[in-house]
Amino acid sequence: MKLANPTSRDIAEIAGVSQATVSRALRDSPLVRKETRERIQKIARDLNYFVNRNAAGLRTHQSNTIALLLFDETGGTDAEINPFFLSMLGDITRSAANAGYDVLVSLQQLHADWHIEYQASHRADGLILLGYGDYREYREKLAALARANTRFIIWGPAVDDQPGHSFGCDNQDGGYQATRHLISLGRRDIALIGARSDGAPEMADRYAGYRKAHDEAGLAINPKLLRRADNSEDVGYAQVGELIDSGERFDAIFAVTDLLAIGAMRALKDSGRTVPDDVSVVGFDDVPLAAYVSPPLTTVQQNTRLASEALVDGIVGLIEGKPPESALMAPRLVVRDSCGASRGQRPR
């Protein structure tokens, strides 16, 4: 059932309760029985009901809670959650505590109606969003949040006309630093492992940096060395295995995430190739594991502490009526043993 402009009175009539009960249920109040709360919240979602923040005088500082929505990119499987996002949890919680806020952490399926649920239930004063899956689908949900005047900030890409506020990494510069470093070592046939579609703008930016470094060095890109890949070690392993089987020459790999890079190094080892003597490898993120694999992984670092502080400062500013400016954080190349020493110009 859909209404053009559903109200709390509509929900009350459908549920057979008072408007006061609807209001309490949408705030997840324990004064309303759990079964009744869930039934009312489901009706609100079915009606696509949003509270008008301005008209209702929405709660500022009433819960002192920030919701951290961590998106499950695994599709509900047993695969591990992106370790980069997990590494941000502690820093976000610490920054929020310093600002006087609790953090409500929720793992969300990408297809779920989380944008409706959080707006209707008022479980937090603002949202921090980590991860997004396919950005084309995600953007529609961001637009719904913006239309409902929800306070939210995104860790993610800088995209033209993006709804809401964002803080992220300069992914193009990170991709450029990684590829330029490999070129400076004399590597000339550099494979790229990772997505480059409109549904993954951060990865597309990393590819743009890879391309910029090649253009600057006057090097042509072999399209057969460009391998699309979702973010997991197993996929990185499989893509490099296919690349080896193809017979294409490559002497370096830029993987757009550390997970892909770690899977790539395992595939190289299993094929009898050594890192970095035969193939140099660079990742992206600097997850905690990167420093402890063998050999330790050269990678582009996104500083999780600074990122977390910026996200919390941004959402607290929104809650206090001081909208932040979207911004990009400068990445830093962390050089470890997976690249090796410079060898000058290698013969082709």
The DSSP H or E segment spanning 14 is helix 8-15
Q: Per the confidence metrics, is the pTM higher than 0.85?
A: no
Specify whether the CB–CB gap between 117 and 41 falls below 8 A. Answer: yes
pLDDT score at 78: 53
pLDDT band per the 50, 70, 90 thresholds, residue 209: very high
Q: Determine the average pLDDT of the residues in 329-348.
A: 78
Q: Determine the average pLDDT of the residues in 85-110.
A: 85
Higher-confidence position of 309 and 22:
309
Q: Which of 50-59, 122-131, 287-296, 319-328 has the highest mean pLDDT?
A: 287-296
Tell me: pLDDT of 206 over 90: yes
CA dist 79 and 232 (Å) reads 9
Higher-confidence position of 134 and 15:
15
Contacts 24+ apart (CB under 8 A), 168-172: 168/202, 168/328, 168/329, 169/202, 169/302, 169/307, 169/328, 169/329, 169/331, 170/328, 170/329, 170/330, 170/331, 171/202, 171/203, 171/205, 171/206, 171/209, 171/331, 172/205, 172/206, 172/208, 172/209, 172/212
List domains and CATH numbers for the chain.
1-49 (1.10.260.40), 59-169+306-329 (3.40.50.2300), 171-302 (3.40.50.2300)
pLDDT band per the 50, 70, 90 thresholds, residue 56: very low
Per-residue pLDDT tens digits for 71-82: 766 555 555 677
Which two three-digit tokens encode residue 76? 């509900």
Q: Determine the average pLDDT of the residues in 75-101.
A: 80
- Token look-up 């992206």 returns 284
203: nearest Cα among 248, 165, 156, 151: 156
Specify whether the CB–CB gap between 151 and 126 falls below 8 A. Answer: yes
Q: Determine the average pLDDT of the residues in 68-96.
A: 78
pLDDT band per the 50, 70, 90 thresholds, residue 227: very high
Rounded to the nearest integer, the mean pLDDT of the chain is: 85
Tell me: pLDDT of 60 over 70: no
Of the listed ranges 38-52, 226-240, 309-323, the one predicted with least confidence: 38-52
pLDDT score at 26: 80
Q: DSSP assignment of 130-148, as one string?
A: E--SSHHHHHHHHHHHHHT
Specify whether the CB–CB gap between 247 and 241 falls below 8 A. Answer: no
pLDDT band per the 50, 70, 90 thresholds, residue 57: very low
CA dihedral (83, 86, 90, 93) positive or negative: positive
pLDDT score at 224: 96
Q: Which of 40-44, 105-109, 272-276, 314-318 has the highest mean pLDDT?
A: 272-276
pLDDT score at 345: 44
Tell me: pLDDT of 134 over 90: no
Specify whether the CB–CB gap between 131 and 85 falls below 8 A. Answer: yes
CA dist 145 and 151 (Å) reads 8
Per-residue pLDDT tens digits for 101-114: 889 888 776 555 65
pLDDT score at 142: 82
Tell me: pLDDT of 293 over 50: yes
Specify whether the CB–CB gap between 157 and 142 falls below 8 A. Answer: no
Instruction: Give the ranges where 148-249 is alpha helix by DSSP (H).
Output: 171-184, 201-217, 233-246
Q: Residue 206, SS3?
A: helix
pLDDT exceeding 70 applies to what percent of the chain? 85
251: nearest Cα among 214, 287, 277: 277
